[in-house]
Structure 1
């Protein structure tokens, strides 16, 4: 059988609501939530056959635990509506989560996870048709199980989704929830008078001011595709070593981002064209000082993100060392990793409401060879997602977000040995380039990388 050519059959469709009755309420979006366009994010977790539970029993456990978890994570059981200004807000109505129980005529080891557009998208990760969250649990021919979730990014970022998944797993094992979510929006109240650094004007742009894409981009025959790679810990360490010379020490994500930035530039022939690199920065630790009671935002549910970006021409990237590129990435991230930056971003959104805005790295122009965003998934809690039958054999985000800008998310391998799983959504020509220029780093994901021995 072709590892992408398999059939998924629906056994049952349900709507799972919170197990306790919840009063309907409106939950306003924070100013940082308002920077997110309508985007759906997927996550999927693959489990091997359980020796003591049938697939049906496992699905029953998941549904029951989901209903319990939605009591605390009630926005996921709601829907997004528009307020009188045309801005989105969360209607927490307990309308429930679409829950599909399906089966697929393929074994886990046969899944082509290297090509998730064909093996995962719409097959194992559901396409959300309503609400904030959709779930699909798929039985595999080998007795394995895939849990696929799709959620609206406007309601939650990866940190929030990770909290939810961990709580769901804990509920499945009748354990107390380690991190109960907080929806306290007061920490994002803008200052008066409003103030922001001019750097934010260079990072974000109002949607109303974006010009139509030039014809050369509209007629591009290339397309964005998703692929999943495996990177060994020693390769990551090597990149970090090469990026950390002359007394500096760059993080692994900075070193990796700089390496990918340079690699993509190697394929360009027009040395004057640019390559934009955005890096997602989580503002939770940066904003804790805004509350008098030193509120911890580690339990905050919502979006607390900024995406600073840097750019350089193909000629510049080809000539610079990995260390120099990593220094540029570090400077880009460092400028946004402050309380003042996030406070200024909150004020900037307030200044322009209700006009929607978007990060500029998402806007490709005729002078760009490429643009992509790296989001660190190093806190993806894959080894904690034991629903009662062991940790996953594999887990990954799936985020084919459209447009012309790429998206890259490195995550820890389930093996816990420092290896990475890297989800990449880039132009086909850039993915092919990565595989030819850096084949020793990016290994196409295959069944040998599954942690089929995992039981804990």
Structure 2
């Protein structure tokens, strides 16, 4: 395979493609989706890790590093067999995973660019379709790209219907541990779908009808004109001291708010402010909550261990909406209190059990979160997902920790998406991936430049030399 793809501002050459399957034979079987998996539409999520040139580049040649990655992946897929399968529809039209060891598309590539020349701030230019692969088949695709300077980028794309970020993180850490020949993996995945079985009889709070709805009941997508603002991706960093200051402002009413609550409140205010001043429309926010801790709360230690290793989707997106004028005029602490109340409603075992029962009551009709689509009044919306568990420093395949890593999730739809993650520098800074309207990002870069700073090689070079 020898293809050259011309991309601005650098050339990417796809040199080889093969399929990496689990190293051990596998009995073909079906893995049903849980009710929480069924809330995810077909969406692919990207993630990438950048490594500078190894100090001993005679030992760690590109050929050697690729062989280590492929061997370790073949071993990891024995345990994470869902990533080696395929998503198909069952007789009800619902997705299921056939665990047939179809394998993972594994691409080797070369990019005519140096690590320090990559414009991480604009991933639409340097990452999208270049260093993170487009998944064409299967559940997971991987691209390993050698850079002109001897550095390396490992990019992955996985099917969100099969795994949430928590599950993908487990796999990435296990893959790296396999590469380093660690004798015992830190965590073995659990595919026990009975942990998320609906109750009989099922019951749920009516408020879930305000959060989720059958896809058939969703309003049709708005017709877009060429001149309309559109969603683009950017990556920023926020310094630790600025996060602490934001948290103190959000806690000014006397209730201590978390950094995520303070950050979400600030983003909510920014999105509201990007709309025409004085608008009587509502601005919505959704915040992704992982339910593993909630579903194991109050149960025996064994169930808590199984839920902490559960592979699949265990997510809810509680939502709230406020008048744009109110979000603009109220202090950050008031908005942060609203964020806190929104989150508290979903941080219970009953919320997730009710969500499982809600899906059961609507099956086989597919459903999804309302906030993914446009609101009835045309007001703006944003979803904030916490990537604080992003294991960037743990994805060490044997030639050093990544100097940079990020999720890459241009998810489509009409709603902005924001993912804050820990900086690989490890000093308390955050890296923030944002997929939002151009006008909203312009407002951030003009009025909140002190907080959101473009992620460039200059920032990374302050802490780790990229060459």
> TM-score interval w.r.t. the shorter chain?
over 0.9
For residues 111 and 76 of structure 2, the distance between their equivalents in structure 1, rounded to whole angstroms, comes to 27
Correspondence 1:191-202 to 2 at 5 A: 191-202=199-210
Report the alpha carbon displacement of residue 245 of structure 1 after superposing the two structures with TM. Answer: 1.9
TM-score scaled to structure 1, two decimals? 0.97
**Does the CA-based 8 Å contact 2:219-2:373 persist in structure 1?**
no
Partner of 1:329: 339
- Structure-2 change in CA distance of 1:49 and 1:3 (3 Å): farther
What SS class does the counterpart of residue 375 from structure 2 fall into? coil
| Bigger mean CA deviation after superposition, 385-394 or 219-228 | 219-228
**Does the CA-based 8 Å contact 1:282-1:306 persist in structure 2?**
yes
1:397 aligns with 2:397: no
Report the alpha carbon displacement of residue 289 of structure 1 after superposing the two structures with TM. Answer: 4.6
**In the comparison of the two structures, how many residue pairs are matched?**
453
For residues 366 and 352 of structure 1, the distance between their equivalents in structure 2, rounded to whole angstroms, comes to 22
For residues 119 and 274 of structure 1, the distance between their equivalents in structure 2, rounded to whole angstroms, comes to 35
Deviation track 1:268-313 (CA, whole Å, cap 9, x = no partner) reads 2242012111000000000015866534211110000000111112
- Structure-2 change in CA distance of 1:187 and 1:289 (3 Å): farther
**Residue among 80, 85, 106 paired with 1:99:** 106
What SS class does the counterpart of residue 380 from structure 2 fall into? strand
Report the alpha carbon displacement of residue 12 of structure 1 after superposing the two structures with TM. Answer: 1.0
Report the alpha carbon displacement of residue 363 of structure 1 after superposing the two structures with TM. Answer: 1.8
For residues 80 and 402 of structure 2, the distance between their equivalents in structure 1, rounded to whole angstroms, comes to 23
Partner of 1:123: 130
Partner of 1:294: 303
Partner of 2:247: 240
Deviation track 1:369-423 (CA, whole Å, cap 9, x = no partner) reads 3111000001101111111011001000000000111110000001110001000
**Residue among 114, 119, 123 paired with 1:112:** 119
Partner of 2:464: 453
Correspondence 1:223-372 to 2 at 5 A: 223-269=230-276, 270-289=278-297, 293-296=302-305, 297-372=307-382
Report the alpha carbon displacement of residue 267 of structure 1 after superposing the two structures with TM. Answer: 2.2
**Residue among 31, 44, 48 paired with 2:48:** 44
Partner of 1:26: 30
For residues 178 and 447 of structure 1, the distance between their equivalents in structure 2, rounded to whole angstroms, comes to 32
For residues 359 and 174 of structure 1, the distance between their equivalents in structure 2, rounded to whole angstroms, comes to 41
**Does the CA-based 8 Å contact 1:18-1:69 persist in structure 2?**
yes
- Structure-2 change in CA distance of 1:25 and 1:3 (3 Å): closer
For residues 106 and 191 of structure 2, the distance between their equivalents in structure 1, rounded to whole angstroms, comes to 25
**Does the CA-based 8 Å contact 1:214-1:366 persist in structure 2?**
no
- List alignment gaps of at least 5 residues for structure 1: none
| Bigger mean CA deviation after superposition, 309-318 or 366-375 | 366-375
1:378 aligns with 2:388: yes
Deviation track 1:241-287 (CA, whole Å, cap 9, x = no partner) reads 00012331111011001011112222222420121110000000000
1:179 aligns with 2:187: yes
For residues 226 and 131 of structure 2, the distance between their equivalents in structure 1, rounded to whole angstroms, comes to 31
CA-based RMSD: 1.7
For residues 396 and 120 of structure 1, the distance between their equivalents in structure 2, rounded to whole angstroms, comes to 10
For residues 214 and 386 of structure 1, the distance between their equivalents in structure 2, rounded to whole angstroms, comes to 44
| Bigger mean CA deviation after superposition, 18-27 or 206-215 | 206-215
**Does the CA-based 8 Å contact 1:3-1:112 persist in structure 2?**
no
Q: Tell me which stretches of 4 or more aligned residues in structure 1 moved more than 6 Å.
A: none
For residues 419 and 39 of structure 1, the distance between their equivalents in structure 2, rounded to whole angstroms, comes to 29
Report the alpha carbon displacement of residue 35 of structure 1 after superposing the two structures with TM. Answer: 0.2
For residues 177 and 4 of structure 1, the distance between their equivalents in structure 2, rounded to whole angstroms, comes to 40
What SS class does the counterpart of residue 431 from structure 1 fall into? helix
**Does the CA-based 8 Å contact 1:273-1:367 persist in structure 2?**
yes
Deviation track 1:303-348 (CA, whole Å, cap 9, x = no partner) reads 0000011111210111110000000000000001100000000000
TM-score scaled to structure 2, two decimals? 0.94
Partner of 2:448: 438
**Does the CA-based 8 Å contact 1:392-1:454 persist in structure 2?**
no
**Does the CA-based 8 Å contact 1:206-1:358 persist in structure 2?**
yes
Report the alpha carbon displacement of residue 4 of structure 1 after superposing the two structures with TM. Answer: 4.4
**Does the CA-based 8 Å contact 1:72-1:180 persist in structure 2?**
yes
What SS class does the counterpart of residue 128 from structure 1 fall into? coil
**Does the CA-based 8 Å contact 2:237-2:429 persist in structure 1?**
yes
1:138 aligns with 2:140: no
